[in-house]
Amino acid sequence: MPRIIVCLKYAIDVSQIKVDSATRKLLTADAPRKISDFDKNALEEAIRIKEKHGGEVIALTVSSESASSALREALAMGADKAFLVQDSAVQNSDTLVVSQILAEAVKKVGSFDIIICGEASIDSYSGQVGPRLAEILGIPAVTYAHRVGLEGNAIIAERILEDCSEVVKVKMPALLTVTKEINEPRVPTLMDVLKASRKELVTWTLSDLGVSKEKVEAIAIQVLEVSAPKVERKRIKIEGENPKEIAEKLVKALIQDGVLGG
Amino acid sequence: MHFQVNGEKNMVFDFTETEEQKLIVKAVKEWCERNLTALRVRQMDDKGHPYPKDIVEGLAKLGVIMGTVPQEHGGLGLDWKTQALIAETIGYYDPTIATAAGFMAVETGWGYTIDRHCSETVREKYVKPAIRGEKFIGIGATEPVGGSDVAGHKTTAKMEGNEWVLNGEKTFISGTEECKMWGGGYWVNARTGPLVPEAPHRNITAFFVPIDADGVEVIEPYKDSGRMAISTGGFVLKNVRLSDEYRLGEVGKGFYHTMEGFDNARLMIGASCAGVIRRILDDAIPYIKERKVFGMPLAKYEAIQFELAEIYMEMEALKLMTMKTAWMQDIRYAEEGLPVKVSEAKTFKPTEVAKWISMIKWKGPFLALKAAEKAMIWLGAAGYTKEYLFEAAWRGVMSYVVGAEGGQNIQKIVIGRELLGKEYVPYK
Amino acid sequence: MSTFNGVWVFSENLDLTAEMLSKGRELADKLQTELAAIVLGHNIKEQAEDLAAYGADKILTADNPIFKNLQVEPYLGALADLATKHKPQILLIGSTRRGKELAARLAARLQTGLIPDIVKLEINEEKMLTATRIVYGGNGIAVQTYKAKPQIATVPPRTFEKPKPSDKKVEVINVEVKLEESKAEVVEVKPVEAAKTRIEEAKIVVCGGRGVNKKEDFKMFEELANLLGGQIGGTRPLAEDRKWFSEWVGLSGKKVKPDLYIGCGISGMIQHVAGIRDSRVIVAINKDPNAAIFEVADYAVVGDIYQIIPALIETLKQTLKR
């Protein structure tokens, strides 16, 4: 009967960001937000574990905005309780600060067996919060899991790495980050949506968690600017004496563009 | 946002979506994105009826079919505003309007009305299974002698002992093949008393006729030109014997109950058409922004932009009218209560609601037809192909223009009656 | 008050370490500080020595069976220990999945900042590191800087080129490190099976159109796609008319948004282009110099796909070989 905390990011819906055509600045403040895609996979996995083994699923979000609609959606999908740490002060927080706030929230939520996060967020895709949170809480982490099962008081997870896939066993409490291949998040039924209105959604401020202003402002990474990449297609002609030369030129260009890597 | 509706009544019309409604629409949208893809809808239209059972079961599990039926009766107890938002979404994802026709207009609109007037037996055997996506219940109103002239219909029901015996024929009925395959039944009106020439709508009683009842003969479906995924057929009633448990509502009041059914179905049609139009514009706009002719994108030409602006304007008007109509319907039903007391609807009389219902039933299909036609013209040859759903949408909504759920001219008669008075109705 | 000095480079993949050393050298020179490569592994003495050719001033190595399974905690314990003792100002970690997890945990342990998957690295006027990376699913380019030390960044493979090997003499120093056991047990290691993602989510898509003569010719697209870890697709005529496939990439079919799209023998009709326009980089190969697809391509190759694709496959095999 595991108690599972799922960390959900109220992320920018990257498909809906508009660009100021004059300055090429991204108008992220106006962009709609949603539960980060991979976090939905995390939530779905937690619910499936609960359906199989019993227990409780708790959704947790830290946001500068009112993310209650996202948490209500999480409750509709099957979370039992939701906690929102909402404070405008976290608007410029980096992952160092956010993971510390999450750790305080997790401590306030209470005991847990598993924490599940998405492999990374859809907007910044840095993949740090999960491992950072595990480090702060002093628990092991298994990242990039695409299959998860429970065996007694241990988690068995399969993760895909560049050169192999590993099956790993770790005792609870532990943190998992999951890939989108792990499952397809369910669409709640309308009955689930109606029931979600009656489930518990608690909102906390940073002072409720005992997190000081200084702590929030002690960021280690500062964003200097975010701009839109150039939209026009380059229309570069790749020519050569023979196919081999053309192929080499093309591959070189693609490597430089960074589309053949990672 | 608030609007003053009627100075002396001090009512406010707040149509901002609640958080719950937003989540409901989101869930329906996500389900449709996965299950009513453009490709699937195209395949459904190309293949034709019967309507895919797996989609019906999915819709039922989602909870969109007959969502307004009270929870105690197996529904979700949603209000009509929410159900209208759901219908708009269904119209968006299936612009051929087959899904909205069968499951918003017929099953939700008429199914809700059947539930309001039926016995516990009919509810258990037919309404609840339909909500679960197991059976199909619909409306059998039109007769070979005509559609609009409901009071002039020829089907009769005579009491023999403690049974009603029905004779007659209904044609151009939606979903007969699905009903025959899955089980279910139809709302059927029959004359149960003498025809009063000055008041032909009196002495008509409504019944629920199970499709597999003895004496019911289902007629082969027509070859429709649109909304291909749902069948249009008919059935003949030859001495069909029904216990009184299969009567819907009060004896002799069938006509009024039927008008109520049309109200609900037409509300669903207006809402669905708003979704169809929104879809057509969403599909057409990227093309006209992209496609260049004489060095300029199509969208930059005023001729096209102006037509787009008009259709958009009218669509937004349709959406607002639909929400207001749904709001009025909710208040009317709340006041009428259950068992239905029509006289209790004081804030918005049923006839006033009917006026608004007719307005959106008239406006929706015509505007959707225009949007589909214009989209094809803007896109040219590409819009004429089956890569897009414009032509399928045109063929589908045309069914509502030619008269499904009520002739378009009848809608104008209803509006005229409310504006001018009963004595100005040109015919009874 | 202790100062931070030195540019360090680490990856469990030594080829990636070598690549990072080229940038590391540039950063170290700008900061007038030392460049060190950290090598942690089991029985890696020879590979550590081979690294000497790539420009580091010294190579710190710890050889222990604890590093055998390439798990995070042993690397974490060792690097945290070394970083706390020697205080490097910059630490570049190879951006593999293991590396990203390691870097994040290390940054948490050292209470510092991490910028992952960088595209560009520079030293600014305040002598701090500034990094450029792609955000918002490809819709944004972010420039970020550090406010704490050590400054940790993860570097994806092939971001930098391996330096030309030199025969400069480099010290290989065996260091004592804290040995931290992993709390997770590796039960099984399997060869990787191609993840079956939907083509709409694929990062690389190779598409064939009417310029393809036979269905069997798709084998070369498959080979190309497999090399790149991508997926193949076809245009609508190949599905509807030729009945080669049941699905297609295009407006009425599947819409793709890969990092790299390669269209082979595709004319570029608007219905197909509508399905690929969100691709980050579009490469088009077509015999017809007037093909519409060249209007929306980043790289246009006027040529015969039956010659270009095999050449591309050969070149990639060479390039991706380690």
CATH no. for residue B155? 2.40.110.10
- Please name the member of A17, A132, A223 whose beta carbon is closest to the beta carbon of C108: A132
Q: What per-residue confidence (pLDDT) applies to B7?
A: 45
Nearest-10 crossing angle of helices C97-109, A95-109: 80
- Mean pLDDT on C80-85: 97
- pLDDT for C194 beyond 90: no
Considering the domain architecture, whether residues C246 and C155 belong to the same structural domain is answered as no
CA distance C98 to B353: 65
Nearest-10 crossing angle of helices A68-77, B19-35: 60
Considering the domain architecture, whether residues B238 and B273 belong to the same structural domain is answered as no
* Cβ neighbours for C14, distance < 8 A, ≥ 6 positions apart: C39, C44, C47, C50, C51
Asked, for residue C118, whether it belongs to a domain, the answer is yes
Chain A contact partners (≥3 CB pairs within 8 A): B, C
Report yes or no: C206 and C227 within 8 Å, Cβ to Cβ.
Answer: no
* Cβ neighbours for B402, distance < 8 A, ≥ 6 positions apart: none
* Cβ neighbours for B410, distance < 8 A, ≥ 6 positions apart: B148, B358
Report yes or no: C319 and C312 within 8 Å, Cβ to Cβ.
Answer: no
Q: What per-residue confidence (pLDDT) applies to C269?
A: 84
CA distance B91 to B97: 6
Within 8 A of C314 by CB-CB distance, chain A residues are: 244, 247
Q: What per-residue confidence (pLDDT) applies to C265?
A: 95
Q: What per-residue confidence (pLDDT) applies to B13?
A: 78
Considering the domain architecture, whether residues B10 and B108 belong to the same structural domain is answered as yes
- pLDDT tens column, C231-283: 999 998 898 788 898 888 987 778 888 989 999 999 988 778 878 988 889 99
CA distance C126 to C144: 14
Considering the domain architecture, whether residues C158 and C210 belong to the same structural domain is answered as no
- The H or E element containing residue C289 is none
Phi, psi of A47, rounded to the nearest 5 degrees? -65, -40
Considering the domain architecture, whether residues C164 and C250 belong to the same structural domain is answered as no
Considering the domain architecture, whether residues B234 and B286 belong to the same structural domain is answered as no
Q: Which of B198, B222, B248 is the last residue of a domain?
A: B248
Considering the domain architecture, whether residues B130 and B189 belong to the same structural domain is answered as no
- Mean pLDDT on B67-89: 96
- Mean pLDDT on B313-336: 94
Three-class secondary structure of residue A200 per DSSP: strand
Three-class secondary structure of residue C179 per DSSP: coil
- Burial (CB count within 10 angstroms: exposed 0-12, middle 13-18, buried 19+), residue A182: buried
Q: What per-residue confidence (pLDDT) applies to B345?
A: 83
Considering the domain architecture, whether residues C106 and C232 belong to the same structural domain is answered as no
- List the one residue out of C50, C83, C43 whose CA is nearest residue C66: C43
Report yes or no: C231 and C260 within 8 Å, Cβ to Cβ.
Answer: no
- Please name the member of B38, B42, B286 whose beta carbon is closest to the beta carbon of C274: B286
C2: pLDDT confidence band, cut at 50, 70 and 90? low
Beta strands in B335-425 (DSSP E): none
- Three-state SS string over B228-245 comes to CCCCEEEEEEEEEEEEHH
Sign of CA dihedral B207, B211, B212, B217: positive
Considering the domain architecture, whether residues B77 and B153 belong to the same structural domain is answered as no
- pLDDT tens column, A14-49: 888 888 878 888 888 889 999 999 999 999 999 999
Considering the domain architecture, whether residues B280 and B405 belong to the same structural domain is answered as yes
Chain B contact partners (≥3 CB pairs within 8 A): A, C
Quote the minimal CA–CA distance from A147 to chain B in Å.
23
Considering the domain architecture, whether residues B33 and B148 belong to the same structural domain is answered as no
Three-class secondary structure of residue C54 per DSSP: helix
Considering the domain architecture, whether residues B120 and B165 belong to the same structural domain is answered as no
What burial letters (b/e) apply to B200-212, b meaning 16+ CB within 10 Å? Answer: bbbbbbbbbbbbe
- Mean pLDDT on B297-314: 97
Report yes or no: C177 and C233 within 8 Å, Cβ to Cβ.
Answer: no
CA distance A14 to A19: 11
Name which of A104-113, B314-323, B347-356 the model is least confident about.
B347-356
Q: Which residues 272-301 of B have a C-beta within 8 angstroms of C?
A: 286-287, 290-291
Considering the domain architecture, whether residues C227 and C304 belong to the same structural domain is answered as yes
List the single residue in B with minimal CA-CA distance to A195: B20
Q: What per-residue confidence (pLDDT) applies to C143?
A: 96
Considering the domain architecture, whether residues B347 and B394 belong to the same structural domain is answered as yes
CATH no. for residue B26? 1.10.540.10
Asked, for residue C44, whether it belongs to a domain, the answer is yes
Structure tokens at C62: 């710890």
- List the one residue out of C107, C92, C120 whose CA is nearest residue C17: C92
Assess whether the previous peptide bond of A173 is cis (omega < 30° from 0): yes
- Mean pLDDT on B76-81: 96
CATH no. for residue C216? 3.40.50.1220
Radius of gyration of chain B (CA): 21
Asked, for residue C258, whether it belongs to a domain, the answer is yes
B20 touches chain A (CB under 8 A): yes
Structure tokens at A11: 């992320």
> In this structure, what DSSP letter does residue A164 have?
E
* Averaged pLDDT of chain A: 94
Considering the domain architecture, whether residues B408 and B396 belong to the same structural domain is answered as yes
B287 and C252 within 8 Å at the Cβ level: the answer is no
Three-class secondary structure of residue A60 per DSSP: strand
Q: Which of B116, B136, B156 is the last residue of a domain?
A: B136
Report yes or no: C163 and C54 within 8 Å, Cβ to Cβ.
Answer: yes
CATH no. for residue B365? 1.20.140.10
Phi, psi of C281, rounded to the nearest 5 degrees? -125, 130
Beta strand C35-41 pairing with C58-63: parallel
Considering the domain architecture, whether residues C162 and C294 belong to the same structural domain is answered as no
Instruction: Tell which wins on pLDDT, B286 or A100.
Output: A100
Instruction: Tell which wins on pLDDT, C270 or B136.
Output: B136
List the single residue in B with minimal CA-CA distance to C273: B290
Structure tokens at B411: 């809608």
> In this structure, what DSSP letter does residue B423 have?
G
> In this structure, what DSSP letter does residue A177 have?
E
Beta strands in chain C (DSSP E): 7-10, 35-41, 58-63, 90-94, 114-115, 118-123, 129-135, 140-146, 151-155, 171-174, 184-191, 204-208, 231-234, 260-264, 281-286, 299-302
Q: What per-residue confidence (pLDDT) applies to A170?
A: 98
Instruction: Tell which wins on pLDDT, A127 or C292.
Output: A127
Three-class secondary structure of residue C19 per DSSP: helix
- pLDDT for C134 beyond 90: no
Q: What per-residue confidence (pLDDT) applies to B4?
A: 42
Considering the domain architecture, whether residues B241 and B301 belong to the same structural domain is answered as no
CATH no. for residue C145? 3.40.50.620
Asked, for residue C52, whether it belongs to a domain, the answer is yes
Quote the minimal CA–CA distance from A98 to chain C in Å.
11
Asked, for residue C184, whether it belongs to a domain, the answer is no
- pLDDT tens column, A199-209: 999 999 999 99
- pLDDT for C294 beyond 50: yes
CA distance B42 to B392: 8
B1: pLDDT confidence band, cut at 50, 70 and 90? very low
A94 and C142 within 8 Å at the Cβ level: the answer is no
pTM: 0.88
| Structural domain harbouring C295 | 199-321
Q: Which residues of C touch B (CB under 8 A)?
A: 236, 251-253, 270-271, 274
A72 and B34 within 8 Å at the Cβ level: the answer is no
- pLDDT tens column, B232-277: 999 999 999 999 999 999 999 999 999 999 999 999 999 999 999 9
Q: What per-residue confidence (pLDDT) applies to C144?
A: 97
Q: Which residue has the tokens 């409720």?
A: A208
Considering the domain architecture, whether residues B244 and B259 belong to the same structural domain is answered as no
Considering the domain architecture, whether residues C23 and C147 belong to the same structural domain is answered as yes
B230: pLDDT confidence band, cut at 50, 70 and 90? very high
The distance in angstroms from the start CA to the end CA of chain A is 38
Q: What per-residue confidence (pLDDT) applies to B10?
A: 56
B26 and A190 within 8 Å at the Cβ level: the answer is no
The distance in angstroms from the start CA to the end CA of chain B is 41
CA distance B404 to B396: 11
Considering the domain architecture, whether residues C35 and C106 belong to the same structural domain is answered as yes
Considering the domain architecture, whether residues C253 and C301 belong to the same structural domain is answered as yes
Report yes or no: C3 and C87 within 8 Å, Cβ to Cβ.
Answer: yes
- pLDDT for C302 beyond 50: yes
- % of residues, chain B, pLDDT over 90: 85
**Dihedral (C-alpha) A64, A69, A75, A81: value to the nearest 10 degrees?**
40
- Please name the member of B22, B31, B76 whose beta carbon is closest to the beta carbon of A191: B76
- Mean pLDDT on B158-172: 97
CA distance A131 to A98: 12
CA distance B109 to B138: 9
Most confident of A71-80, C130-139, C190-199: A71-80
Within 8 A of B387 by CB-CB distance, chain C residues are: 236, 251-252, 271
Q: Please count the structural domains in chain C.
A: 2
Q: What per-residue confidence (pLDDT) applies to C322?
A: 46
Asked, for residue C211, whether it belongs to a domain, the answer is yes
Q: Please count the structural domains in chain B.
A: 3
Within 8 A of B26 by CB-CB distance, chain A residues are: 73
* Cβ neighbours for C3, distance < 8 A, ≥ 6 positions apart: C87
Considering the domain architecture, whether residues C137 and C204 belong to the same structural domain is answered as no
- pLDDT for B3 beyond 70: no
Residue B46 Cα to chain centre, angstroms: 23
Within 8 A of C235 by CB-CB distance, chain B residues are: none
Asked, for residue C303, whether it belongs to a domain, the answer is yes
Considering the domain architecture, whether residues C123 and C203 belong to the same structural domain is answered as no
Q: What single letter denotes the amino acid at residue A126?
A: S
* Averaged pLDDT of chain C: 92
Considering the domain architecture, whether residues C155 and C20 belong to the same structural domain is answered as yes
Sign of CA dihedral A238, A243, A248, A251: positive
- pLDDT tens column, A121-143: 999 999 999 999 999 999 999 99
* Cβ neighbours for B377, distance < 8 A, ≥ 6 positions apart: B383
Name which of B88-102, C86-100, C284-298 the model is least confident about.
C284-298
| Maximal C-alpha separation, chain B | 80
Asked, for residue C180, whether it belongs to a domain, the answer is no
Q: What per-residue confidence (pLDDT) applies to C195?
A: 52
| Structural domain harbouring B226 | 138-248
Q: Which of B221, B248, B275 is the last residue of a domain?
A: B248
